[in-house]
Structure 1
Amino acid sequence: MLLASFLGIGIGIVLGLTGAGGGILAIPALTLGLGWALPQAAPIALLAIGTAAALGAIDGLRKGLVRYRAALLMAALGLCFSPLGVRLAHHLPNRTLMLCFCAIMLFVALRMLLQSRPSTEQAYTIHSPLQKNCMLDPATGRLHWNGKCTATLSVIGSLSGLLTGMLGVGGGFLIVPALRQCSDIRMQGIVATSLMMVALISLGTAGGALYHGVTLSLQAELFIGATLIGMLAGRLLCKHLPAHLLQRSFALLCLGVCLYLFVTIF
């Protein structure tokens, strides 16, 4: 029981320090730390991630940072595709799922390392075919909705939902870089919007699992509660630590966990 609490606090601190993408470590904590299989760990990880993300989304809504229409569209499509991901997870071998998870962790780690470089902001300002798909209207400050923007957000939401149901990863690691490339929303707004979407998809997917018979053990309840406490502590700590140091530390942690997972698979 103590191990579940310690792991939850650790994951919560990482969530608070790094944002929604940090929730990707919840699955390794449950599979490696508590010895759960991925299909068993995914709903619990999603409950922990979703609840923590909801707290951040509420704060973003209070500050007017959330692009709630975009978040609702992406979340609605994500919830439509997450059952497909859940179905795939129950039909694919556990080794295949873990290899997919390792690939995602490697992607997250490399992205974090690139973001921690001083030239990152310049790299993100390079124009690409997708960069202007979703632009803010200078007159209103709101997104200019058109077919291209709607289609882009729909693809982001659908992929996030599929991966959420399949691997229990929340989707923050995908949403944030995608919105940075496809829109001119400021970073604070992207993170707040991502948190709202992650909360909706994660809690919706986990709720579906609970409806279909998944039960919460005492270990699971302790893990979820400890994650919330850790997340609040992480939000306080992040104000006193350099962003580049957090990004590099998180990237190295992901690389280490990814390597360990890969070794255990084979």
Structure 2
Amino acid sequence: MLLTLGLSMIIGLLLGLLGGGGSILTVPMLVYLLHVDPKTAITTSFVVVGVSSLLALIPHARRHSVCWKSGVFFGLSGMMGAFAGGRLAVHFTSDLLMTLFALISLSTGLLMLRGGKSSTDASPTGIPRRVCPLRVPYLRVLFDGFFVGGLTGMVGVGGGFLIVPALTLLVGLPMQGAIGTSLLIIVMNALAGLGGYSQHATLDLPLTALVTTGALIGSGMGALLSGYIKPNWLRRGFGLMVAAVGFYVLSQAFTAQLLLDAEAWFDRAHSEIWATLVLLTVLILLRIGSWIHKADAVVLKPQSGSNGH
């Protein structure tokens, strides 16, 4: 019990500090340390991370580091994607879901480590940049939100470990704005993902209450500390944490049984037709995403007033 509470506080601390990473640790903790069924762990993570994010959002909102318009549109689109992802997950085995979880974690962590200098730095004129864009790039926000929401709904996370990179690298928000805004989006995605999973997974109420209590304590502390740490340090710490967790989960989930499960799954899905459809869908989405990101630019100019748009 004390171990569970202590680990839950660490999860909450990272969630409040980095704007994500809570469920990327909650799911492995429940599965590999407490031996909870993966789908039950995923359902539990939605509750824990959703409630913790709501508490951690308050200090960020007081510092005007939440981009409400971008967050609401990204979150609404992400909710639809998360619900669809949660429903789609019923067709995959637990090991396949955990492997997908690990691969997404690894690629996201490496992408954050390779990211350039944070846009929260001063502009060339020496004037601090705005935290939120002057004009919300609605098309790219909606597209990115649905795509990220679908992935997070499948692997059972509130989405901060994907939302923060998406907001910084795709939508164009600086790190501080991405962290605050991601907390708002995580709450929305967690609600939608829980709705999708509720039809085919159970919830351990005593365990959920214990983990949520620890996460709430940690998230409040993390949200307060985040205002005193450099954005570039947050980015690097976030990338390292996500990549390390992804590597660990992959080492645990990638087994001979997983290969047999994957082969059986493809056989049932008529692999040739299925693979062709998946490939075409991915190529079409990539093309549409590329066009949207070129057409709908982000405008971040030196601040002259309030940041909270």
TM score, norm. by length of structure 2: 0.68
**Alignment partners' CA distance in 2, 1:66 and 1:57:** 8
- Residue 94 of structure 2 is matched in structure 1 by 94
Q: Judging changes above 3 Å, is the alpha-carbon distance between structure 1 residues 207 and 85 closer, same or farther for their aligned structure 2 residues?
A: closer
Q: Which runs of 5+ in 2 are unaligned?
A: 123-128, 256-309
Deviates more, 1:1-10 or 1:55-64: 55-64
Q: For structure 1, which segment, 232-241 or 58-67, has the greater mean C-alpha deviation from structure 2 after superposition?
A: 232-241
Matches within 5 A, 1:25-36: 25-36=25-36
| Partners of 2:117 and 2:232 within 8 A in 1 | no
Identity value in percent? 32
The amino acid across from 2:135 in the alignment is: H
Preserved contact between residue 109 and residue 250 of structure 1 (Cα < 8 Å): yes
Residue 230 (structure 1) shift: 1.6
Code of the residue aligned with 2:117 in structure 1: it is T
In 1, distance between residues paired with 2:234 and 2:135? 34
Partner of 1:144: 135
What's the CA shift for 1:245? Answer: 5.7
Q: 2:220 aligns with which of 213, 220, 232?
A: 232
- CA distance in 1 between counterparts of 2:175 and 2:230 reads 16
Q: CA deviation at 1:236?
A: 4.7
Q: Which residue of 1 aligns with 2:67?
A: 67
Deviation string 1:55-75 (CA, Å, 9 cap, x unpaired) is: 232333334332222222222
Aligned to 2:49: 49
Partner of 1:128: none
The residue identity in structure 2 corresponding to 1:120 is K
1:84 equivalent in structure 2: 84
Taking the aligned partners of 1:262 and 1:81, their CA distance within structure 2 comes to 24
Q: Are residues 32 and 178 of structure 1, via their aligned partners in 2, closer, same or farther at CA, if it must alter by over 3 Å?
A: same
| Equivalent pair of 1:9/1:229 in contact (CA under 8 Å) | yes
Name the structure, 1 or 2, with higher relative contact order (CA <8 Å, separation 6+): 1
Q: Deviations over 1:61-111 (max 9, x none)?
A: 334332222222222222222222112221102221111111122123313
User: Hey, what's the Cα distance between the residues in 2 that align with 1:19 and 1:8?
Assistant: 16
Letter in 2 for 1:31: V
* 1:161-180 equivalence runs, <5 A: 161-180=149-168
Going from structure 1 to structure 2, the CA distance change for 1:120 and 1:23 (only over 3 Å counts) comes to farther
8 Å contact from structure 1 (residues 180, 187) kept in 2: yes
Q: Report the RMSD for the aligned CA atoms in angstroms.
A: 3.2
Q: Tell which structure's C-alpha radius of gyration is larger.
A: 2
**Deviations for 1:111-133, whole angstroms, at most 9, x for unmatched residues?**
34335xxx6348x99xxxxxxxx
- Distance in 2 separating the partners of 1:175 and 1:256: 18
Alignment of 1:1-266 (within 5 A): 1-115=1-115, 120-121=117-118, 143-145=134-136, 149-206=137-194, 209-210=197-198, 214-238=202-226, 248=236, 251-265=239-253, 266=255
Counterpart residue identity of residue 83, structure 2: P
Change in Cα spacing, 1:190 to 1:245, as seen in structure 2 (3 Å) is closer
Give distance in 2, aligned partners of 1:8 and 1:200: 21
Cα separation, partners in 2 of 1:196 and 1:249, compared to 1, 3 Å: closer
Structure 1 residue 210: Cα displacement: 5.0
Could you tell me which amino acid in structure 1 is paired with residue 73 of structure 2? L
Report the alpha carbon displacement of residue 259 of structure 1 after superposing the two structures with TM. Answer: 3.1
Q: Deviations over 1:202-231 (max 9, x none)?
A: 134325645877434211210111111122
Q: How many residues align?
A: 246
Aligned-partner Cα distance in 2 for 1:80–1:103: 23
CA distance in 1, matches of 2:250, 2:170: 32
From the superposition, tell whether residues 188 and 239 of structure 1 become closer, same or farther in structure 2 (CA, over 3 Å): closer
Query: 1: CA distance between counterparts of 2:231 and 2:135?
Result: 31
Q: Is the 8 A contact 2:48 2:208 kept in 1?
A: no
By how many angstroms is 1:164 displaced? 2.3
